[in-house]
Structure 1
Amino acid sequence: MTTVNDIFVYLDEQAPFSLQMSFDNAGFLVGHRNAPVKKVLISLDITEEVAREAVETGAELIVSHHPVIFHPARSVTDADPVGRTLLTLAEGHVAAICAHTNLDAVAGGVNDALARQLGLVKIEQLHPDGVDASGRPYGIGRVGLTEGVPLYAPAFAAKVKELLGANGVRYVDAGRPVRRVAVGGGACADMLTDALKLGCDTFVTSDVKYNGFLDARDWGINLIDAGHYPTENVVCPVLEKWLRAGFPGVEIVHTAKHSEVFQYL
């Protein structure tokens, strides 16, 4: 019998929770540690809809990227979305394990998945942070090379949109062909200078503020904001693959209820 704790220990081996950043709240966040698990639901976020989906489909555990509890909860009631989500999980006997910045940083995690999805090769770390207890290097962001005839920013931005299934992208065209690309899944715009130091002509990330686009234009680097959800949802198939390999007797499914939250006109 597989338990919640078995899955937590396994995920801790793949993406050690000790590597999470100081502001983060990754880990085993909801449920009974020794509860049996026959079905796991994978989702980038644990929303009210995803929590209800888990209950309705008989999943005993949700594994997500973003923590269902991020800021300290002063109450857990049906008066706000977080409270309703937590009540749905608790009342439905659904546990939650959330692998966040630890999954961003480890080899094979969010940023490697993003780089591979964009077709980059010769992938290396953008910002090395150290090695884990097993001697494996970790750090946020990746750098890789494009293959074939280099594209310019408008065409490459369109390709990024297609490959990530994004509803839209924002970009700055620095007039440079796209050859050496840095990627940062989620909100990594503050790593633009890291990309410049490593000789990148292009940076793909999300949640870029106005001044970030101005900086990219002034510094002469193509900058593509492909959205938070598209640049991180690429890790959900990775989690599915890991869990299927580690627990062949457990049913692993991807959410059918959660997708990009906004549209572009």
Structure 2
Amino acid sequence: MFVTESLNRIPELVEQGVFSEKLQKKLTQKFVNLEATLLRAKVLRELSKSKVDYIVQSVIQPEQASLAYLFAPFILGNLNQSTIYHSQATAPVLNVLNRYYQAEKKLHLKMDDVLQALNIYLDLHDADLDEIEFFYYALLNALCRADVTQIYFITDLKLDAEKLAVVEQFFKIKIHLISTDPLDKIMNCAELNMRQLLFKHKDQDYIELCEKFSILNAQLLSVSGRYNPTQAKQLVDDMFYAEHIYEKLSVYAEYMQTCIQNGGAGQQVTLFP
């Protein structure tokens, strides 16, 4: 697919996976010259003053505990780390976000404008790609950004560790794999009480749910290398009880809803205090 030999490790990352013709066509529509864009980002990465984390999460199905990572960009945002979160707009994701803004609405916003204003961008993709196609599509989008210094794969896909290391070394970027268990279940997200999940007062069920969510997100913080496991767990625990995640989510939702009402004119948005 690519002329550059190291780039040809990318389509081989998913064990027993296929880099489909459908995906190649979609990439051709988005990038005039994908290989040139990837190589340019590689060169500019060391010169970039901006440092962005990029989270790629495989499809979240109903009742899966991996829904916890939907809150990861807001946790990282509270720690002043610019973060792009890329996943598919499934029912569990929309059931949470639609309580705050019309997350299913498609906006033609400049991602960098939102990142500059909020340090967070949720890129919710239509369910037009299968799990492997989406993984590659999100990965290539991440690698094409010169400001991305760390990528987190949250997935139950089996990846080739040796080829992943080649890609990591070639692009001079940190890649972290966080494996998920599709059988690790929680309550239906449509039944989630967001006030108990994100506010101080919780009953026993939500104490246990927040403990699970904290453990999962602490894993993401600790693999980043910025925090040890104990620090990471304490930070995330505090955010689920002190309303910090809710506050960051509310600001993001206010911004996006204003963009929706203004027809996508994100640059005209004024954030509330």
Shorter-normalised TM-score: what interval? under 0.3
TM-score (norm 1): 0.22
Greater RCO (Cα-Cα under 8 Å, separation 6 or more): 2
Higher helix share: 2
TM-score (norm 2): 0.22
